[in-house]
A and B are shown apart, each in its own frame.
Chain A
Amino acid sequence: MVRMDASILRVHPQGDLTIYQVEELKKELLTAFSGAEEISVDLSDTEKIDTAGFQLLVSLQKSCAETGKKFDGVGIYDAVKNFMNLYGYDLNDKKGNR
């Protein structure tokens, strides 16, 4: 799910990104975060997301903005797109980063 590729931290959640996965993913992200210069989130294989998953992504995005790291969302699965639409949120739209 989380992989360092040179200085890029690639986050690629498979299957569900829900309240059942967030604790573990957060730990992994936190460990890898400081060593990364850029973070790329690929949601193309994320079949299900909930508010907890959403919050984790937003938190990751915020942390990047705070520390001057580049954040990039690539790929999105339909179900997740629906969810993001409901919340009116676009990971790549920096306006969302309030």
Chain B
Amino acid sequence: MISGISFSDIAKEFREESLELLEAMENSLMVIRENGMDHEHINAVFRAAHTIKGTAGMYKIDFIVEFTHIAENLLDQVRNGKIEMSDELSELFLECKDHMQNLVEFAVVTNNEELPHAKLTEVTKSLGAILSEKLDGDSAATHSATEHLTAANQADFTNAKNIHLWKLGISFDSSVMEQGFEPASFLAYLRKNSESFELSANTSAIPFLSDLQPTACYVSFDIRFSSHLSKEEIIEVFEFIQDDCILNLVEDIPVVETTVAEETPVAKPVSTPKTETKVTPVQPQKAQNNYSIRVDADKIDQLINLIGEMVISNANVVQQSIDLQNTELIESVSLVSRMLEDIRGNAMQIRMVQIGESFNRFKRIVLDLSKKLGKEVELVIKGAETELDKTVIEKITDPLVHIVRNAIDHGIEAPADRGSKNPKGTLTLDAYHDAGTVVIEISDDGKGLDEAVIYKKAVEKGIIEEGTHLTQQAIFKLILEPGFSTAAQITDVSGRGVGMDVVKRNIEALRGNIEIKSQVGEGTSFIIRLPLTLAIIDGFLVRVGETFYVIPLDMVIECIELSDEEQEGMHGNNYIDLRGTILPLLNVGEFFGEQQSEDESRANIIVVHYAGRRYGFVVDELFGEFQTVIKPLGKIFSNLRGVSGATILGSGKVALILDVPMLVSFILSMRARSD
């Protein structure tokens, strides 16, 4: 209906918006399932379906409109209490949601130029039939899908509730028609979605023939209409011309309000005296962007890359200002540096997303899976508000899905096999920040991992040799090795051809690591540690021999001087006594084979904190805090151990970023060997 805009132009946006709505729909349905029916959530489900239908209608994606319409009818009856919500129904709605998603994807892929293929049509039909069956008698007849299609343009919202009376003043930029927009189309669309519609066209601005610019827009409109559309939805109607029109939307008092049927009439007189309760002039673009702006992730990446470059250049400026010994310059430069740091912080913040969103999708997975396998599983989500870089979240979701699937499939036992434990298993997803990393824990209270069984299997599969001595942790980690996934265990759930090795690889690609804790009969925990961000970190700059190294600052606890006495007290061992506890040490210079500079009389220890324990790195010189833009090392260095990246110093020199997790595991293996 809107000329000048083809579907392919907005397909991406349409998809994103729809998927977001569908996700909201699923989340609300899951809440209803867990906590029982409530108005707020069923309304959210209805609104999501309704908005998708509306948008699909605007772009004439009839097959989505057709299907969504039936689902919407049933939803409407459910939210009005005509039909009672049940687990069966919510499951049906979940299926509908999946189907709608498939339809949306299909429309986007084909640019809405093709009719859905047989498989989709079939699902539309079968689900449609189930939906219509559930519909309460009379309305089922009047609102069948076919009827809807023929009457598609007529008011089909007669049973939609929450009708409000609106006054809308709208005037257009004089160039609006020259840009290819026709005011009448927008108004006709609004009329179509209104119960009553009174428009008066203000033609007073139209000049006499001699002065008329025939293609300029002179008319403005005053409309009084009643509609089920929300304020946002009304403004959305004018979205495409939002820059070229001024809307003044005023709500009159609501005329009908059946959703809140219980509301006593006593409450009403309070709001009735005035005909216009709220007067809110609306600039459409503002209302649209009230809460968030949709920005292409690439743009943010670009911004962050640029800031990264700037941090490097700035480091150079700082260096030069120090070399010049010009105090004023140094002062100005330090001011710039500070602001740059703020900019960097803010830019990184843009990418931070709460992990809860991606946790929510597990509710559905757990529900579907436990049902399929005849298990009872309760999902507990903690730390949903923990923030994590969006890219990291995106990349971690698949591995998490895999671990969760595994936990339900292999970890949690069937109710009958759970012995004295609660027959309902518990799966916990937890996220929290810890020393510059984010920790995600997936724990189940299932049967746990059996060391002996895993060891035996690993030997059978040729992953390790019989007789190899391994720590418990190392044995558990064998399940992450490629080729471990066992044929005997393959079900249609976890035997999808993707082994746990993919989980490990994905996590390592994010510079994270994974730890497994397990107790036979009590359960298993997967503990994943991930860096907060991927691009820029605060680092601590040190020097060993001729090389500069950077240690992620969040991990640094303190720096101490390694005195001669302590050095002697070590007796060649690799640990010192730090205020009564043993501090394992790693001589960074030795590890990387640095030339020992003889004249160095003193050494320093940087105490880092990782995975709940402390370790010391022996280095030559400390420089302190340094903003580090992580530059990946090329492929050639992929086998380089102990270094996770590089950065460029102000002087142009390269500093290596220490891979603390790797070094820590090295320290541990050294100790294991010497034990």
CB closest residue in chain A, given B184: A51
* Main secondary structure on A side of the interface with B: helix
Asked whether A63 lies within 8 Å of B182 as measured between CB atoms, the reply is no
- The residues of B that contact A63 with a CB separation of less than 8 Å are 208-210
Asked whether B209 lies within 8 Å of A59 as measured between CB atoms, the reply is yes
Task: Report if A22-B203 is in contact (Cβ < 8 Å); known contacts: A51-B183, A63-B210, A87-B184.
Answer: no
Q: Which of B178, B182, B191, B199 contacts A50 (CB 8 A)?
A: B182
Bound Cα distance A63, B206 (Å): 10
B201 on the interface (CB 8 Å rule)? yes
Bound Cα distance A55, B202 (Å): 11
- The residues of B that contact A59 with a CB separation of less than 8 Å are 206-209, 212
B214 on the interface (CB 8 Å rule)? yes
Asked whether A66 lies within 8 Å of B208 as measured between CB atoms, the reply is yes
Q: Which of B195-240 contact A (CB under 8 A)?
A: 198-204, 206-210, 212, 214-215, 217-219, 221
Q: Which of A29, A50, A58 contacts B184 (CB 8 A)?
A: A50
- The residues of A that contact B199 with a CB separation of less than 8 Å are 86-88
B177 on the interface (CB 8 Å rule)? yes
Q: Closest Cβ of chain B: how far from A22's Cβ, in Å? A: 4
Q: Which of B153-197 contact A (CB under 8 A)?
A: 177-178, 182-184, 187-188, 191
Asked whether A55 lies within 8 Å of B218 as measured between CB atoms, the reply is yes
Asked whether B212 lies within 8 Å of A56 as measured between CB atoms, the reply is yes
Asked whether A55 lies within 8 Å of B198 as measured between CB atoms, the reply is no
Chain A: residues with Cβ within 8 Å of the partner, total of 27
Q: Closest Cβ of chain B: how far from A33's Cβ, in Å? A: 6
- The residues of B that contact A19 with a CB separation of less than 8 Å are 177-178, 214-215
Query: Among A58, A59, A96, which residue has the most Cβ atoms of chain B within 10 A?
Result: A59
Bound Cα distance A28, B98 (Å): 59
Task: Report if A86-B210 is in contact (Cβ < 8 Å); known contacts: A22-B215, A54-B219.
Answer: no
Q: Closest Cβ of chain B: how far from A90's Cβ, in Å? A: 11
Q: Closest Cβ of chain A: how far from B155's Cβ, in Å? A: 15
A5 on the interface (CB 8 Å rule)? no
Q: Which of A53-73 contact B (CB under 8 A)?
A: 54-56, 58-60, 62-63, 66
A23 on the interface (CB 8 Å rule)? yes
Asked whether A55 lies within 8 Å of B206 as measured between CB atoms, the reply is yes
Task: Report if A88-B218 is in contact (Cβ < 8 Å); known contacts: A50-B184, A83-B184.
Answer: no
Known contacts A52-B215, A62-B206; 11 additional CB pairs below 8 A are A19-B178, A25-B214, A50-B177, A51-B183, A55-B212, A55-B217, A55-B219, A58-B203, A86-B199, A87-B201, A88-B200
> Which residues from chain A sit less than 8 Å from chain B, CB to CB?
19, 22-23, 25-26, 29-30, 33, 50-52, 54-56, 58-60, 62-63, 66, 83, 86-89, 96, 98
> Which residues from chain B sit less than 8 Å from chain A, CB to CB?
177-178, 182-184, 187-188, 191, 198-204, 206-210, 212, 214-215, 217-219, 221
Instruction: List 13 A-B pairs, Cβ < 8 Å.
Output: A26-B214, A29-B209, A30-B210, A55-B206, A56-B214, A58-B206, A59-B207, A62-B208, A87-B201, A88-B198, A88-B200, A88-B201, A98-B204
Closest 8 CB pairs of A and B: A22-B214, A87-B201, A63-B209, A63-B208, A59-B212, A26-B214, A98-B204, A58-B203
